[in-house]
């Protein structure tokens, strides 16, 4: 046994993984439950992407050595990597019946979060704290993230961040997230104070410096404050030790400050550096993959599909989607000022379900009625956590435009509002902001235009199928003629006009998008045809 494992280890070090696997299998023939051999087999199988073999070995290890949580964690991570989110936390459930340990509670909660079971995740994170987990500030941080992003309770999120800082006053992540929370609530001074505390602890913290700059309002802040922020960002960018992730944030923020000063050449060059650096971090955009995706969606989700497979659910949830930076946050805020509507923000429910089902290629026989009912019920339960009594919740997730086929299959009466904006203004606005890793097109102007073209093709398809329950709102028209634009949307939602929609900027709800500061202001037209300030830089798109 020992000799076989030694030979297997030697083979693995020589990158002879098939040979190593064969030797381990021989060892397991001699002793099927040998922990070392099973652990080695799982590692090799994972490396070779032999996932069934890895799963089999890890299941035995979890059963034979339950106290070694790394086996359970690795098995749960394997399920997550295969988008089997619901199965991941079940790995820990037999262990919870055998023993109690804060690390067990913590990891169970973490995978419950990945599966979307947020309420149970809260319970088990709290159990980890009650069981005296090491570094409780980290658990409070996770709880705060759940309350702020999943359970629509910024008050409880703030409470847990404050608890984290009670445990560790210099806990940078808690200070940063508390700053985010203040920012989302429109509390500019409180947000800035959190980021300044971070800079006091870590003077070269690029992200904190960038967030201070992004919160600057030239209508209220002096030229000296703006100049100070520019000098701080330039000094950070001149530091070769600044990591690229922070460098990207600093460049976007510096571009924003130059733009506010009217120094458009320096603004654009800052954004160019931000995007070129960010592209190295997240990789190139695949235009052909998007084109093929849109082709699949148009082909599969046809009129015949909905005639045959749409559910009989009569609910009419409200979705706002379209291109990012096309006015969706502004529209949602204006609607949220209506007494019968509540802003839900960017919910990840349908993107997650679509990923789990591979919904861009639905089965030829359609989805079962039971599955559609489960999706609908779970979604409606999530909306209830965000709804005010007597109000409907808007789900403002821009990329839900890719999931309208699934949404309309689950909710045939869903009301869908698609925002659009002048292409060059949209492209410039996306190019000047940082987005997630799944939006690699945002780092290149030509990719942004290509993405917009494909989305237009898809929107045209959805509108042709559902002309009475989908409406398109033009950003320029919304800004210039807000009452007329909002009235049309309210008709779609079967609601009457309300004057409060014009004073949306007085709302004190939580907003977690790049538009967080703009929507706290009355409507302004300076964002219209903004691309003209960059006409020479945008020649490639003209």
Poorest-pLDDT segment among 149-153, 310-314, 315-319: 149-153
User: In terms of DSSP bridges, do strands 415-420 and 318-322 run parallel, antiparallel, or are they unpaired?
Assistant: parallel
Contact 18, 9 (CB under 8 A): no
Structure confidence by residue, pLDDT tens digits, 187-203? 899 999 999 999 999 99
Considering the chain, what percentage of its residues have pLDDT values greater than 90?
Answer: 75
Q: Tell me if 208 sits within 8 A of 176, measured CB to CB.
A: yes
Provide CB contacts within 8 A for 333, sequence distance 6+. Answer: 343, 504, 505, 507, 509, 511, 519
- C-alpha 48/C-alpha 44 separation (Å) is 6
Burial of 279: CB neighbours in 10 Å, binned 0-12, 13-18, 19+: middle
- pLDDT value of residue 150: 86
| pLDDT (0 to 100) of residue 9 | 62
pLDDT level of residue 517 (50, 70, 90 thresholds): very low
Task: Check residue 345 and give left, alpha or beta (phi > 0: left; psi -120 to 50: alpha).
Answer: left
| pLDDT level of residue 520 (50, 70, 90 thresholds) | very low
Strand order of the β-sheet with 341-343 is: 341-343, 392-396, 318-322, 415-420, 470-474
DSSP one-letter string for 447-472: HHHHHHHHHHHHHHHHHHH-TTTEEE
Predicted pLDDT at 11: 61
10 touches 2 (CB < 8 A)? no
Whether pLDDT at 8 is above 60: no
- Measured CA to CA, the distance from residue 141 to residue 145 in angstroms comes to 6
Mean local confidence (pLDDT), 3-23: 66
Give the pLDDT band of residue 184 (cuts 50, 70, 90): confident
User: Can you tell me the distance from the alpha carbon of 41 to that of 39, in angstroms, rounded to the nearest whole number?
Assistant: 5
State phi, psi for 508 to the nearest 5 degrees.
Answer: -120, 40
Averaged pLDDT of the chain? 91
Q: How confident is the model at residue 218 (pLDDT cuts 50, 70, 90)?
A: confident
The overall pTM is greater than 0.75? yes
By DSSP bridging, strand 341-343 and strand 415-420 are: unpaired
Residue 209 has pLDDT above 80, yes or no: yes
Q: Contact, 429 vs 484, CB < 8 A? A: no
pLDDT score at 1: 55
Which pairing describes strands 318-322 and 341-343: parallel, antiparallel, or unpaired? unpaired
The domains of the chain, with CATH numbers, are: 288-541 (3.40.50.300)
In sequence order, what are the residues at sequence separation of 6 or more whose Cβ sits closer than 8 angstroms to the Cβ of residue 44?
12, 17, 20, 21, 24, 50
Average the pLDDT over 10-32 and give the result. Answer: 67
- Say yes or no to pLDDT of 14 above 70: no
**526 token code pair:** 């300076």
DSSP string, 429-450: HHHTS---TT-GGGG-HHHHHH
Continuous segment of H or E residues that includes residue 417: strand 415-420
Q: How far apart are CA 514 and CA 202, in angstroms?
A: 25
* Residue-wise pLDDT tens digits, 464-493: 999 999 999 999 999 999 999 999 999 999
Task: Write out pLDDT tens, residues 345-356.
Answer: 899 999 999 998
Residue 387 is given by DSSP the state P
What confidence tens digit (pLDDT) does each residue in 370-426 have?
Answer: 999 999 999 999 898 888 778 899 999 999 999 999 999 999 999 999 999 999 999
Question: In the chain, how long is the greatest CA-to-CA distance?
Answer: 81
pLDDT band at 222 (very low <50, low <70, confident <90, very high): confident
| Nearest-5° Cα angle at 37, 36 to 38 | 95
- For the chain, helix, strand, coil in percent to 5 are 65, 5, 30
């Amino acid at each position: 046994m020992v000799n076989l494992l030694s030979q297997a280890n030697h083979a693995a070090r020589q990158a002879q993984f098939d040979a190593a696997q064969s030797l381990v299998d021989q060892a397991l023939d001699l002793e099927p439950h040998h922990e070392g051999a099973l652990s080695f087999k799982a590692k090799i199988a994972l490396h070779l992407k032999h996932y069934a073999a890895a799963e089999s070995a890890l299941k035995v290890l979890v059963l034979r050595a339950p106290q070694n949580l790394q086996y359970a964690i690795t098995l749960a991570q394997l399920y997550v990597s295969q988008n089997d989110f619901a199965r991941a936390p079940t790995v820990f459930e037999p262990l919870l019946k055998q023993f109690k340990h804060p690390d067990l509670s913590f990891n169970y909660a973490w995978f419950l979060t990945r599966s979307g079971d947020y309420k149970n995740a809260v319970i088990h994170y709290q159990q980890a704290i009650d069981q005296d987990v090491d570094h409780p500030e980290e658990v409070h941080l996770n709880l705060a993230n759940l309350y702020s992003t999943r359970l629509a309770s910024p008050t409880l999120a703030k409470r847990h961040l404050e608890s984290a800082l009670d445990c560790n006053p210099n806990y940078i992540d808690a200070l940063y997230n508390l700053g985010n929370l203040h920012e989302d609530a429109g509390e500019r001074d409180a947000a800035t104070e959190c980021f300044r505390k971070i800079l006091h602890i870590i003077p070269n913290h690029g992200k904190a410096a960038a967030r201070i700059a992004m919160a600057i309002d030239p209508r209220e802040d002096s030229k000296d404050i703006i100049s100070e922020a520019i000098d701080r960002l330039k000094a950070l960018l001149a530091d070769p030790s600044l990591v690229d992730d922070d460098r990207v944030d600093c460049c976007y923020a510096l571009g924003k400050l130059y733009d506010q000063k009217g120094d458009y050449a320096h603004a654009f060059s800052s954004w160019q550096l931000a995007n070129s650096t960010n592209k190295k971090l997240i990789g190139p955009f695949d235009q052909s993959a998007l084109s093929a995706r849109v082709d699949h969606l148009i082909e599969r989700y046809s009129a015949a599909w909905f005639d045959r497979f749409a559910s009989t659910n009569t609910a009419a949830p409200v979705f706002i989607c379209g291109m990012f930076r096309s006015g969706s946050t502004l529209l949602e805020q204006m609607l949220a000022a209506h007494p019968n509507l509540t802003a839900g923000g960017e919910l990840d429910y349908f993107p997650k379900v679509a990923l789990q089902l591979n919904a861009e290629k639905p089965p030829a026989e359609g989805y079962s009625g039971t599955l559609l009912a489960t999706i609908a019920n779970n979604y409606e339960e999530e909306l209830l956590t965000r709804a005010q009594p007597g109000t409907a919740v808007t789900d403002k997730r821009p990329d839900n435009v890719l999931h309208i086929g699934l949404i309309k299959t689950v909710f045939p009466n869903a009301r869908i509002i698609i925002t659009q904006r002048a292409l060059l203004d949209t492209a410039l606005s996306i190019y000047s902001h940082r987005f997630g890793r799944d939006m690699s097109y945002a780092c290149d102007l030509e990719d942004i235009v290509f993405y917009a073209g494909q989305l237009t093709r898809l929107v045209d398809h959805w509108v042709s199928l559902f002309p009475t329950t989908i409406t398109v709102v033009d950003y320029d028209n919304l800004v210039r003629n807000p009452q007329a634009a909002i009235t049309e949307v309210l008709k779609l939602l079967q609601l009457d006009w309300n004057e409060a929609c014009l004073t949306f900027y007085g709302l004190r709800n939580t907003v977690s998008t790049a538009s967080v500061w703009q929507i706290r202001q009355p409507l302004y037209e300076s964002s219209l045809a903004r691309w003209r300030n960059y006409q020479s830089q945008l020649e490639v798109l003209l």
